[in-house]
Amino acid sequence: MRATVTAERANRSTDRLVLHGVHHTARPTWKLRETIEFYRDILGLPLVHTICARGWGPEGHPDFLHFFFDSGNGSTIAFFYYIGTERPEVLAPFQSWFYRATHTAWRVETREELLNWKEKLEQRGVPVRQTRHEIIDSIYITDPNGYPLEITWQVRDMNQADATDAALTLEAALQIEDEARKNGGALRDIDSVWRRKAKLVDAYVAGR
């Protein structure tokens, strides 16, 4: 009986678990000075913490510096500088949407803030690209390591209609992918997703 009660309490506590935003993102750097100067001096992010450690473990882990910049609202962006190492070729940046897909995006609250950031960065010689896509307007830059960064203004709050649309879109994609895999295939195009989603939308509306 006691074990059952303990398990029930554990289940209730895990059911209430939530996340409270991003604490930090972290990437390696082999450009110590350039990284510090870019984030601290050009972007103006305060340097707030550095961990200095000897290497450990069976893999020949090198000594390192792990340093953090304040990126607002309790979040930080961090870097590992592995002392005495060279960047592996596999981690070299390359021009592709596959590479740019992994990026850090920071939020501003107004369009004016976004444009002010754009002006500030351009004045400091940083190339900036701006794109509006659906409910966010963003500027994109690249740090000295080749890492993509984004500053974004969310034009409106997300609502239940957005959540429903997201669920129907991904359910359509999952159904097609599952069916294709059974035949040794794969999801190949967005048009098939749209067609399946249209059927799911019709069913959703009819069931309301």
pTM, full prediction: 0.84
- For tokens 């398990």, name the residue: 7
Same domain, 148 and 201: no
- Give yes or no: residues 151 and 168 share one domain: no
Residue 183 has pLDDT above 90, yes or no: no
For the chain, the average pLDDT equals 92
- For residue 9, pLDDT over 70 is answered with no
Cα separation, 111 vs 73, whole angstroms: 19
Distance, CA of 109 to CA of 154 (rounded, Å): 7
The residue among 97 and 202 whose pLDDT is bigger is: 202
Residues 75 and 37 in one domain: yes
pLDDT band at 3 (very low <50, low <70, confident <90, very high): low
Rounded to whole angstroms, the Cα distance separating 93 from 87 reads 11
Q: pLDDT at position 59, please?
A: 81
CA 97, 73, 78, 146 torsion-angle sign: positive
Contact 77, 36 (CB under 8 A): no
Q: Out of 66, 92, 118, pick the residue that ends a domain.
A: 92
Shared domain check, 104 and 87: no
Domain that holds residue 198: 160-207
117 shares its domain with 147: yes
Q: Is pLDDT larger for residue 76 or for residue 101?
A: 76
For residues 74 and 13, state if they share a domain: yes
pLDDT (tens digit per residue) in 130-162: 999 899 999 999 999 999 999 999 999 999 999
Banded pLDDT at 4 (limits 50, 70, 90): low
